Amino acid sequence: MTFAPRPRRSLLFVPAANPRALEKSTSLVADGLIYDLEDSAVPEEKDAARERLRDHLAESCFPGERIVRINPLDSRYGTEDFLMARGAGVDAMLVPKVETVAGLKQVADALAETDAPTSMRLWAMIETPRGILDVDALAAAAASCRLDALVVGPNDIALSTGVEPGPDRAELLPWLMRIVLAAKAHGLATLDGVYADFRDAAGFAAECAAGRRMGFDGKTLIHPAQVDAANAAFGPSPEAVARAERVVAAFADPANEGRGVIQIDGRMVERLHLEQARQLLAVQAAIAAVEHRHTERMPRP
């Protein structure tokens, strides 16, 4: 399988109901923006938010991914949200509260019926007991449902289960790891949930570090102040890049030709580490490319 990484360290939710947030969003160096039409817009403002977002998407450009979180297709707003996002040509639609393959397939079928290019993808929010229990089946349907990513929704998980997670989220770990595992088993990206206390930089950094250790590719965010920390936490460190370069160089050394296992500085290194090192360097190159595109459009002094 070809490994074509897309950096997904930082995915910022941007409330479409808030004109200032919309305006600010495109100047931010997030890997992606998730324009929200669901929870952050109350029913009275959903239609206006959708129209505002339609204009914004037509008039603005952004170097990273653009995703729209639509309302459920069977809700009063879902079809209009879907048609707007489809027409705007976003990279993906984020479907909230996904619980069944049939529910996901309904959106995928609507994309097919409107001849949406196959590059237009679906992301699924896993944020209910049923969604968590059936996450493997949902991820297994990725190919037929254009599914690219699983996104954790901690607020809805808390609401629908009564769980009250502490600072280390110990109560949620089995469920979070179940989501990560399903994503890995089926080759999907997986994004950790939002951290609401956006002024608590230390708490946010600790949660990012934990999410990274758990295997998440990145984190969903609610505030611009969280972007840099998420980029730092989920991107490869300079030390990791240097290590990966050494692994690649060591296996390229003719002295090591045909060897399955070597040592670097007294540490065993196998061919699987070579693959891992190549993937890390590919991720790093993809990050450099997106950061270059961000820099290119910044006003010059």
Ligand X SMILES: CC(C)(COP(=O)(O)OP(=O)(O)OC[C@H]1O[C@@H](n2cnc3c(N)ncnc32)[C@H](O)[C@@H]1OP(=O)(O)O)[C@@H](O)C(=O)NCCC(=O)NCCSC(=O)C[C@H](O)C(=O)O
Residues interacting with ligand X, by CB under 6 A?
Answer: 12-15, 18, 20-21, 24-25, 36, 39-40, 125, 127, 153-156, 193-194, 222-224
d(CA 228, CA 234): 10
Q: Which stretch binds Mg ion (CB under 5 A): 12-20, 25-33, 113-121, 125-133?
A: 125-133
User: Is the Cβ of residue 192 or residue 217 nearer to ligand X in the bound state?
Assistant: 192
Q: Which stretches within the chain are classed as H helix?
A: 19-25, 43-59, 78-88, 101-113, 129-133, 135-140, 142-145, 154-161, 173-185, 201-214, 227-234, 238-252, 271-296
Structure tokens at 113: 């019926």
Q: Is 69 known as a binding-site position?
A: yes
Q: How open is the CA angle 72-73-79, to the nearest 5 degrees?
A: 125
Q: Is 291 known as a binding-site position?
A: no
Q: Is 127 known as a binding-site position?
A: yes
Q: Which stretch binds Mg ion (CB under 5 A): 43-51, 124-132, 188-196, 213-221?
A: 124-132
Helix (H, G, I), strand (E, B) or coil at 2: coil
Q: Judged by CB under 5 A, does residue 153 bind Mg ion? A: yes
User: Is the Cβ of residue 108 or residue 126 nearer to ligand X in the bound state?
Assistant: 126
User: Do residues 5 and 30 touch, judged by C-beta distance below 8 A?
Assistant: no
User: Is the Cβ of residue 32 or residue 154 nearer to ligand X in the bound state?
Assistant: 154
Closest residue by Cα to residue 8 from 28, 34, 32: 32
User: Is the Cβ of residue 7 or residue 131 nearer to ligand X in the bound state?
Assistant: 131
Q: Which does 78 bind (CB under 5 to 8 A by kind): Mg ion, ligand X, none?
A: none
